[in-house]
Amino acid sequence: MSVVPSRKNQVPVQEGLFSMPAGPGESARLLGSRCKVCGEAFFPAQAMCANCCTETTEPVVLGTRGKLFSYTNVNHAVPGGYKGKIPFGVGTVDLPEGVRVTTRLTEHDTSKLRKGMEVELVLEPLFEDEQGNELVGFAFKPVR
């Protein structure tokens, strides 16, 4: 998947959160971890299983499609260094590996969102950082 075209240098909001698309027609992927004992998956990746409380996790590349569990939007300037567009959508998405990820949504109009709808991962340019790089985050988009 290609991020919205841009000449700027694109930088992920954090290394190790997601992989960039491997090539044309490929998707970005969220990078998590999974417990070898109980099978619980985590995002972002963790060294420990919060369920078993043991160091039993291995890396897992998470599925790109999931179901929307809950959703809202942000209509107001927020602290923490975010300088991107407002409003934007936020939701929790259940991925096939059993992770419930809190994420941005590409759709902020909540009348177009509903519990259980299918959503897919996309990358989203957010804003330019102090070094002039374009920060890229992840979001989920309703599947039409």
Partner 1 sequence: MRDVAIIGVGIHPFGRFAGKEFTEIGQVAVLDALRDAGIPWKEVQAAFCGNMTSGTAAGHRVLARVGMTGIPIVNVENACASGGSALRLATQAVATGLYDVALAFGVEKMPRGFMAMTSYDRWQMLQGMAINPIGMALNTRWHMDTYGTTAIQLAKVSVKSHKNGALNPNAMYRKALSLEEIMNSPMVCDPLRLLMLCAPDEGAAAAIVTTGENARKYTSQPVFVAAAQLGSPLYGTTFGTIAVGGSSGSARMSAPEVSVVTAQKAYEQAGLGPQDLGCVELQDTESGSEIIYYEQLGLCGPGEGGRLLDEGATEINGRIPVNTSGGLIAKGEPVGASSLGQVHELVLQLRGQAGQRQVAGARVGLSHTVGAGGNCSVIILKR
Name the residues that contact Zn ion, by CB under 5 A: 35, 37-38, 49, 51-52
60 interacts with, out of partner 1, Zn ion, none, CB within 5 to 8 A per kind: none
Neighbours of 19 (CB within 10 A): 14
CA-to-CA separations, 116 to 49, 78, 104, 122, 138, in angstroms, rounded: 27, 28, 16, 18, 20
CA 39 to CA 30: how far, in whole Å?
Answer: 17
CB 17 to partner 1: min, Å: 6
Residues 28 and 41 sit within 8 Å (Cβ to Cβ): no
Residues 113 and 137 sit within 8 Å (Cβ to Cβ): no
Task: Verify binding: residue 51, partner 1, rule CB under 8 A.
Answer: yes
CA 122 to CA 124: how far, in whole Å?
Answer: 6
Amino acid of residue 64:
T
Token pair listed for 66: 């999931």
- Of the ranges 1-9, 20-28, 52-60, which one interacts with partner 1 (CB under 8 A)? 52-60
In the list 27, 42, 119, 123, the residue contacting partner 1 (rule: CB under 8 A) is 42
Applying the rule CB under 8 A, the residues between 86 and 125 that interact with partner 1 are 86, 88, 90-92, 94-95, 98-102, 104, 110, 115
29 interacts with, out of Zn ion, partner 1, none, CB within 5 to 8 A per kind: none
**Which spans of this chain sit near partner 1 (rule: CB under 8 A)?**
13-14, 17, 32, 40-44, 46-55, 69-76, 78-82, 84, 86, 88, 90-92, 94-95, 98-102, 104, 110, 115, 126, 135, 137-138
